[in-house]
Amino acid sequence: MKKVLSTLCIGTVAAAIVLGTAGCGGGVRASSFASPQATITASGDIASARSISEDLFGVFLEDINYTSQAMDDNLLANGSFEGGGSYGVRACWETNADVTEATEGGITPSAKYLTLKFSKPSNYLLNNGYDFAPIALQKGTEYTFAAFIRADDYAGEIKVSVVDGDLNAYGGGTLQVEKSAQWVKYVVTFKATETKEGLQFEMDFGNGTLSIDGVELTTSDATLGVKNYIYNAIADLSPKFVRFPGGCIIEGTDMDVVYDWKNSVGAIAGDAGDDVPTLTYTEIVNGKSAQKTTRGEWAARPTNGDLWSGSQFYRLEYGVGFYEYFLMCEKLGAKPIPIVNCGLKCMSRTGGRAEALEGRHGNGKADYIQDALDLIAFANGSTTSSDANEKYWAQVRADMGHPEPFGLEYIGVGNEQYFEKYYEYYESFLEAFAEKGGIYAAVTPIVGCGTQFHDAQRSNSEGMVVPYMKKYREAGKIGALSEYGMVDHHYYLNYYDFFHFAGKDMIYDSYSRDASTKYEVFVGEYSANEPNTRYIRAGGEFDPAGAAGLSMPAPMNSWVTALSEAAYMTGLERNGDVVHLAAYAPMFGVSDGNFKDDAANQWDVDMMYFTSTKLLLTPNYYVQQIFAPNTGTKLIASALEYSGVSDTCKLASASGNEQIERVYSVISYDEATKEIIVKIVNAGDLALDINVALGAFAPKGTANVTMLQCDDLFAVNTFAATPVAPQESKLTGVGQTFGYTAPKFSASILRIPTK
């Protein structure tokens, strides 16, 4: 756990908290208070406790704010020369050659490539990388250049190098190319001589004519195709699942701007169906030649547009496609939750109209149902299945390098679609899964049914989706609402609402637990980032239409937004039998080198902000980081009582005339480690002496404490200073009743081993 001591906004430090390494110096004794200001009392036992989802907190990885460009270990933009949309085939490249663009005779039947005729004294091909993830090198790190070259009329050297604006080289190598009518993959490795940012990639040629495709410059400082500084930050969140790839990009507005999972593994749409071609070619690595056969080769992957693209080059180049996604989930120990297109365009961009998409083969909805079935087969299918289609996609996975199934448990159908046409489409998916049976019926479907409170009970009595669930059940298709699928809810609120929503106004407290009417919820997207819209008025009046706008000056990703999310997460854990999955959104945004780049991001509030070499971790990131691995499997009933202080407090801000609950808490039990986990969020501006009474649970006498705290509610983390970061300490003398001082504006997690 990262520790930042010198820049922490500590202010009032609790007597029971010692900042520093857990266990250092024996900790502080947790004596109970004779006159506590609050008491949290646990009751009941494990046998009668509600279960909490073991998959509760995960992440949502969407290609927004140029995320894929930051993640991809290939530093070059448009390396496959696919271009597309408003971007030409030569986008991001400069050359002084005579250029011909072609597809016939490419490495696959649909692959675009360039034929270059060089006749100058000095011949070059240049790439500057991505605008918001420019090329950077780290001294001593190994880099690999690779490209498919068909040297029809070219023999001799090709020099590759990474240079600055003055053409000073910081690493490179040389290829010895022989004439050939066949595509040959040339590979050369080199180490960077300096650490440098803002570079460009250059290839220098002699005279002659050649064709080129699939140009890559990848870094060894990567995991499964993801740059390590990005991958490690995801891993450090300990996610229980990864939702991918959308979000709005799964929906699109036309056939180019739709995330296509089959394109992401190299499938070509033909008259007879979808085919992932097998490529056999000569590969020459650092001068040594060998024959190689691959499937799903990146250079053979068709590209798509990105719904979030603007004036800068932004395409779905699938450097990190569905195969890499499944591998990443496996390595993280996180469950994959892929979202597939339901066959409808993005409704937020069609004025709420349900407009159909054509599909890969022009069959509309049927194509998207087949895509979903094939994705399940790719993930979970057997290479010995008697079903030819399942066997085919399982073999594709095996040929890409993973013979065993990935163990897919969930699949989301659509993202933010709703109303009758969407539910008609969704039910067609349900029926196809049921009809196929086996691995298809075993996967839990997720209803991608809308945003904000549209599908939450109490918003319009029972929620938008429930009438369709009931109608489907009455038709004899299902016996219980849960068979309709898990329901996806999205909440982009302001921090006032999250504080209100976390406590007495937590909608999920009142959800049905009856077997026939209960259904599970997936909070697929949430974060505090709508400062001027209210959904829960002061006093708890629920108003999904939005109350009058507020003037709320808190900067985005400030401590108060993260603290409100921490409070909200205690409510999610308290309802962990209904809320099965929850993910902050989005994960990544572009940094200006200090905080965020307002001009670059398509979404304003994000968990992390990237440059080419580093990440800014926000207070919101750290809330997710400490909560995800500290969730129990059983909910311990508890009651909170105050003495001498009000149960509410005024939120201290320039517009802070509202009362919110002072403390948010939840107690759970981890059956695997036999630990009690106590979470306490103090939203008030007073440190509180709190007694925790564990009832029948007998602690071993210690507690490991992780805390986030800052006196400045509006503090933000930057690269220069980290005022909000986790701190660890140890409490000793923890008995069945013990005292803990929760500092003002703090979120604390206490893990207590039991006897």
* Cα R_g (the chain), whole angstroms: 28
Q: Quick one: how far is CA 228 from the chain centroid?
A: 15
Query: How many Å from the N-terminal Cα to the C-terminal Cα in the chain?
Result: 26
Closest CA to 132 of 557, 609, 587, 608: 609
Q: Do you know the residue count of the chain?
A: 755
Q: Does the model's pTM come out above 0.85? A: yes
What local confidence, expressed as pLDDT, does residue 10 receive?
31
Q: Is the pLDDT of residue 308 over 70?
A: yes
User: Among 25-39, 216-230, 390-404, where is mean pLDDT lowest?
Assistant: 25-39
The number of helices, as runs of H, and strands, as runs of E, in the chain is 11, 46
The stretch 443-458 carries a mean pLDDT of 77
- Where in the chain are the domains? 24-51+632-753, 75-220
Tens digits of per-residue pLDDT, 562-595? Answer: 999 999 999 999 999 999 999 999 999 999 999 9
Position 497 scores a pLDDT of 85
DSSP string, 478-527: -SSGGGG-EEEEEEEE-HHHHHHHHTTT-GGGGS--STTT---EEEEEEE
What integer best gives the mean pLDDT of the chain?
A: 91
Q: What is the pLDDT of residue 2?
A: 31
* CATH superfamily, domain at 75-220: Galactose-binding domain-like (2.60.120.260)
Give per-residue burial for 493-512: e unless 16+ CB within 10 Å, then b.
bbbbbbbbbbbebbbbeebe
pLDDT of 667 strictly over 70:
yes
Given phi > 0 = left and psi -120 to 50 = alpha, else beta, which region is 228?
alpha
User: Hey, how many other C-beta atoms are within 10 angstroms of the C-beta on 350?
Assistant: 13
For residue range 474-510, what is the model confidence (pLDDT) as tens digits?
999 999 999 999 999 998 888 988 998 898 878 899 8
Give 9-26 as a DSSP string: --SS--TT---BSTTGGG
The predicted structure's pLDDT at residue 542: 59
Which SS3 state, helix, strand or coil, does residue 182 take?
A: coil
- What is the greatest pairwise CA distance in the chain? 90
- Specify the amino acid at residue 376: I
Is residue 15's pLDDT more than 70?
no
3-state percent breakdown (helix, strand, coil) of the chain, nearest 5: 20, 35, 45
With a pLDDT cut of 90, the percent of the chain lying above it is 83
Residues forming a β-bridge with 189: 144
CA distance 465 to 456: 9
CA distance 617 to 605: 12
Q: Mean pLDDT throughout 207-213?
A: 98
Instruction: With a cut of 80, say whether residue 672 has pLDDT above it.
Output: yes
Token pair of 5 as six digits = 């001591």
Quick check: 142 pLDDT over 70? yes
pLDDT grade for 458, boundaries at 50, 70 and 90: low
> So what CATH class is 24-51+632-753?
mainly beta
Alpha helix (H) residue ranges in 381-455: 388-400, 419-436, 438-441
Return d(Cα 193, Cα 185) in angstroms, integer: 25
What is the per-residue pLDDT across 361-396, written as a single tens digit (0 to 9) for each? Answer: 999 999 999 999 999 999 999 999 999 999 999 999
CA separation, residue 754 to residues 660, 674, 697, 703, 707 (Å): 34, 6, 7, 10, 21
Average pLDDT of span 327-339: 98
pLDDT given for residue 5 in this prediction = 28
Can you tell me the distance from the alpha carbon of 523 to that of 337, in angstroms, rounded to the nearest whole number?
A: 12
| Residue 277 backbone class (left: φ over 0; alpha: ψ -120 to 50; beta: rest) | beta
- For residues 376 and 428, give the distance between their C-alpha atoms in angstroms, rounded to a whole number: 16
24-51+632-753 and 75-220: identical CATH topology: no
- Structure confidence at residue 31 as a pLDDT band (50, 70, 90): very high
